[in-house]
Amino acid sequence: DAKTTQPPSMDCAEGRAANLPCNHSTISGNEYVYWYRQIHSQGPQYIIHGLKNNETNEMASLIITEDRKSSTLILPHATLRDTAVYYCIVRAYIYGQNFVFGPGTRLSVLP
């Protein structure tokens, strides 16, 4: 079973920040939070991951709460090309732990 809970869908206006929440209240100390997205008819694409500190890269920012029970993926200036399903995954770096994809959040960026 997926260890995360995400809203099934969200809308965002083009040019605005998209804030996608994820709840992972049972996360363990050695588990990282990963975000992937899947644009229609393509394979999932890695976005960002982190352990406890906030992370930023050219695609997005990841904000993890201090208790690590939830996180938010931020797309600072959403474009129409950001319309996709976004998956939040928790996973430890140990042998046998695989990426478990839940249903994700379907983000629609509206013009």
Q: Which is nearer to another protein, 35 or 70 (CB)?
A: 35
Comparison of 43 and 111: residue with beta carbon closer to another protein: 43
Residues that bind another protein (CB under 8 A): 2, 34, 36, 41-46, 49, 93-96, 98-104
Q: Which CB atom, from 81 or from 111, has the smaller least distance to another protein?
A: 81
Compute the 3-state secondary structure of the chain and give helix, strand, coil in percent, each to the nearest 5: 5, 50, 50
Nearest to 80 by CA among 30, 39, 21, 28: 39
What's the one-letter identity of residue 20? L
Closest CA to 86 of 53, 44, 23: 44
Least Å distance, CB 94 to another protein, is 6
Smallest separation, CB 16 to another protein (Å) = 28
